[in-house]
Structure 1
């Protein structure tokens, strides 16, 4: 999605650059405030947001650290963690829990381990690929409930949006949430104003769309965008190399055990038969 071509007018909102230019726009938070309000299904407008350091420091020398895509608070102290995930990530919910519980523990420590008056924490995950195949809805809000579905606590609220489940036609888009998701899914496919949905003239969306318009980019913004593309390309190549190295090691171990057929190894490892045969030949040559 981050690949740029001359025919593409708008940068994908779900790309690294697009997300930072819209959700992460610290100089103009109109889009972010309205988007958060829509994502949490709140009738109350968010008047102000403050961006907070988004890095999680490891609690011990050997514990993991991490970085949120976005972390901010509103005028009431409500905390929002927003994560964008484009690729497959089966353990995404575990990551969301880690982030939310880390924030909760931080708040409790700051309050000298008192639990009264803690602010709400919303952990929002926006995913290009579905992680809940058994759930039909594209927008899910999860709180602590009992077996009868009765609310126990909503201090921690987990919200997921699975973009590929959103299949509404333009005529059916009514709510701010649907306007947001429709824009996220289609912005990079639109070129001319005649293709713009009517609601793109709404201030909060117009503000974000302006940031994604390559025709309106200053030379400085163009350079930042192209540098982001280059960095992402390197990151993708490195990640693919890591994945291939892991698959190679898994296949090599399976071949050395000699208990499975070539076809079974390929199926279990999620690779082609040719991939397995190539590693088998390399093992033979090393003897």
Structure 2
């Protein structure tokens, strides 16, 4: 049996955008709900394209968007490569979903929270321990004071290391599903298949479940990811090279100024100092 990678656009939307029970399961497992009462029971899917109210504003598309029985809205995104622009897009989409809940004559009290779950197949906080990042609007000095309404969860998938602790069983199983299964997988670990939700999610990514056209689109997706990764890598290399060049130039200038300062201390005239160091007269006089 051959499986497709569940992180690809095609497979991710098939698993979590077509099966309410599976998106409920992963949301309950990965969102920071503190009590059982907060857990999602039912969801209805909402259009993934957030069309602007006027043609002059920006539209946007998310991977999965749904609403639960309480009216809370959930956005789920799978991002293959990190860029600072993604953080801005997440904030933009969640804010738009929050604002669009109300009509012009409705009361603000009717607004329900928007949760944004973002699974990132990249490391964007290398200097921070842990793979799970929970953002809320909090008071800087009194972090227990919170403005409710928007909550953002970012998961750095490459940092995740499987752990077994019963109180977060589905949390671990879903992240193992996303990080351990790909085209090279032939046998699914038994502990994953023991979960009905994970087993169903595995069945959705069997190669035989997709048409030839879909498989071609799947391959093109990964080609696009590889190209984008190369472009980002090249841009970083160019930036580092330019930074090193700028550093060398700045280093040479500091050396010139230090030499000029020493020569001036020895009583050498400005014209001679400029001839030796290449500095301008006004630069030498200001030392």
Q: For 1:171-198, what per-residue CA distance to the aligned partner results, in whole angstroms no more than 9, with x for missing partners?
A: 5685211111111100225312xx5141
The more displaced of 51-60 and 12-21 is 51-60
- Identify which of 194, 205, 215 aligns with 1:226: 215
Q: Please name the residue that 2:3 is paired with.
A: 10
Q: For 1:206-229, what per-residue CA distance to the aligned partner results, in whole angstroms no more than 9, with x for missing partners?
A: 110111122xx24xx232431322
Counterpart check, 1:190 vs 2:181: no
- Measure the CA separation in 1 of the matches of 2:162 and 2:222: 32
Any conservation in 2 of the 1:190–1:196 contact (CA below 8 Å)?
A: no
Q: Please name the residue that 1:56 is paired with.
A: 50
Q: Which runs of 5+ in 2 are unaligned?
A: 247-287
Instruction: Give the alignment's Cα RMSD to 1 decimal.
Output: 3.1
- Measure the CA separation in 2 of the matches of 1:161 and 1:119: 23
Shift of 1:235: 4.7
Q: Does the residue aligned with 2:142 lie in a helix, a strand or coil?
A: coil
- Measure the CA separation in 2 of the matches of 1:38 and 1:88: 23
Q: Please name the residue that 2:112 is paired with.
A: 119
Q: For 1:122-163, what per-residue CA distance to the aligned partner results, in whole angstroms no more than 9, with x for missing partners?
A: 011110112233432212222111123113222211111110
Counterpart check, 1:213 vs 2:213: no
- Measure the CA separation in 1 of the matches of 2:124 and 2:26: 22
Any conservation in 1 of the 2:8–2:218 contact (CA below 8 Å)?
A: no
- Measure the CA separation in 2 of the matches of 1:153 and 1:132: 25
Q: Does the residue aligned with 2:17 lie in a helix, a strand or coil?
A: coil
Q: For 1:65-84, what per-residue CA distance to the aligned partner results, in whole angstroms no more than 9, with x for missing partners?
A: 21111111111111011111
Counterpart check, 1:203 vs 2:196: yes
Q: Does the residue aligned with 1:23 lie in a helix, a strand or coil?
A: helix
Counterpart check, 1:107 vs 2:96: no
- Measure the CA separation in 2 of the matches of 1:85 and 1:176: 21
- TM-score under structure 1 normalisation? 0.71
- Identify which of 147, 157, 160 aligns with 2:154: 160
Q: Does the residue aligned with 2:181 lie in a helix, a strand or coil?
A: helix
CA shift in 2, pair 1:243/1:264, >3 Å: closer
Q: Which runs of 5+ in 1 are unaligned?
A: 1-7, 252-262, 270-287
- TM-score under structure 2 normalisation? 0.71
Q: Please name the residue that 1:129 is paired with.
A: 122
